[in-house]
């Protein structure tokens, strides 16, 4: 997911997306441990998307405090 797309989303949408990504990451890790994955890079991409969303949410929180 691109950072521009993430910045366009509202905070409630980002929190919903964050929950979905965390669930997906859990499933990917579980599949990796049990029978392997077709694309192990998917775990890395998912972790980066989670970090991007967390960054944008933190930026917005800091903007509210400073405003």
Residue ranges covered by each domain of the chain: 3-66
Question: What is residue 13's predicted lDDT score, i.e. its pLDDT?
Answer: 96
Distance CA 2, CA 64 (A): 24
Question: What is residue 57's predicted lDDT score, i.e. its pLDDT?
Answer: 96
List, for the chain, all residue ranges whose pLDDT scores fall below the cut of 70.
Answer: none
Question: What is residue 67's predicted lDDT score, i.e. its pLDDT?
Answer: 82
Asked: is 3-66 a CATH 1.10.287.310 domain? The reply is yes
Distance CA 28, CA 52 (A): 19
Query: Running DSSP on this structure, what letter comes out for residue 40?
Result: T
């Amino acid at each position: 997911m691109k950072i521009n797309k993430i910045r366009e989303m509202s905070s409630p949408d980002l929190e919903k997306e964050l929950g979905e990504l965390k669930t997906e990451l859990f499933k990917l890790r579980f599949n990796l441990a049990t029978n392997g994955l077709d694309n192990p890079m998917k775990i890395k991409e998912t972790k980066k998307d989670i970090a991007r969303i967390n960054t944008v949410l933190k930026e917005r929180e800091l903007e509210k405090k400073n405003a």
